[in-house]
Amino acid sequence: MIRFPKVLLLVAVLSGAFILGTPTTVKASFAVRITTTASTATINDGGAGDLDGLANNSITVNYSDSAYSMVGTISFTNAPGTPNKAILDVSYNVKTFDNNGNNTTGGAATLEASATGFTQPNANPETLSFLLNGNGSGTGTLSAQGAVVTNGALFSLAGPSVTLPSSGSFNTNGGYGGSGSVSYNGATPFTLSEKLSFDLAPGSNTSGDGQLTITTPAPAAWLLAVSGLPFCALASWLRRRRLSTAA
């Protein structure tokens, strides 16, 4: 018979082993932040200002103040990621006039999106890629930065990053676009953040999309296996042909 104190000791040991063997759950956050010369607002996934009202890795925002109007701004993420890709995407429609056609003041403004708690992909080396495309009318400029930060807070840009364009700013009157990437060795969990910096004159507008991704190369063993498939098929065909001829 096992005495009661020994039972308690056994339970404690088994509980400790279970805790140590259980993967740590990463607490994730996802938010959009808008800053203009008139005001600032932070919209959390599923929180006040998120039009769908659900914590579903998608944030839709209609925002306006005396400086800017941002209509139908949509951001989404696939946090905590997949073995092949992590994504943070922002679609924007930014105006310096209101719904009645009256000009707002414009000036410097930023639109940021950020998601924490990514645990995949996690095979080094990894590649951070940033793609931005848009168009507009009126007068104004836009620049953008995307970054990955290990254990980073929301909106952190203090890690491997890509700036678009690499120097200067896009002129938002007409079409514009650019892309860039950087290879790095990372760790999990990590945070992805985008920051779009606008400077539009009154009566202007621009819309577009910025997508930030993390990818990792296919495993070498998998590539080797795939590259050998044609040769295996050829060898099998030759073997069958020899047997057929011999018969």
pLDDT by residue (tens digit) across 195-223? 999 999 999 999 999 999 999 986 544 44
| Sequence-separated (6 or more) residues with CB below 8 Å from residue 6 | none
| Mean pLDDT in residue range 131-140 | 98
Cβ-count burial 32-66 (b if 16+ within 10 Å, e if not): bbbbbeeeeeebbbeeebbeeeeeebbbbbebbbe
* Banded pLDDT at 233 (limits 50, 70, 90): low
Q: How much is the pLDDT for 223?
A: 40
Q: How much is the pLDDT for 55?
A: 96
Work out the mean pLDDT of the chain and round it to a whole number.
Answer: 85
**Cis peptide, bond prior to residue 189, ω within 30 of zero:** yes
What are the boundaries of each domain within the chain? 27-223
Contacts of residues 227-235 at CB distance under 8 Å and 24 or more positions apart, as own/partner, are none
Reading phi first (left if > 0) and then psi (alpha if -120 to 50, else beta), residue 243 is in alpha
Q: How much is the pLDDT for 37?
A: 97
Q: How much is the pLDDT for 246?
A: 53
127 φ, ψ (degrees, to nearest 5): -125, 125
Q: How much is the pLDDT for 155?
A: 98
Q: How much is the pLDDT for 217?
A: 84
Lowest-confidence range among 25-29, 114-118, 120-124, 187-191? Answer: 25-29
What's the rounded Cα separation, in Å, for the pair 160 and 150?
10
| Neighbour count for residue 169 (Cβ, 10 Å) | 16
User: Taking 50 as the threshold, does the pLDDT of residue 10 lie above it?
Assistant: no
- pLDDT tens for residues 46-94? 999 999 999 999 999 999 999 999 988 899 999 999 999 999 999 999 9
* Banded pLDDT at 239 (limits 50, 70, 90): low
| Mean pLDDT in residue range 144-171 | 97
Q: How much is the pLDDT for 28?
A: 85
User: 37 or 13: whose pLDDT is higher?
Assistant: 37
* Banded pLDDT at 237 (limits 50, 70, 90): very low
What's the rounded Cα separation, in Å, for the pair 63 and 34?
8
Q: How much is the pLDDT for 156?
A: 97
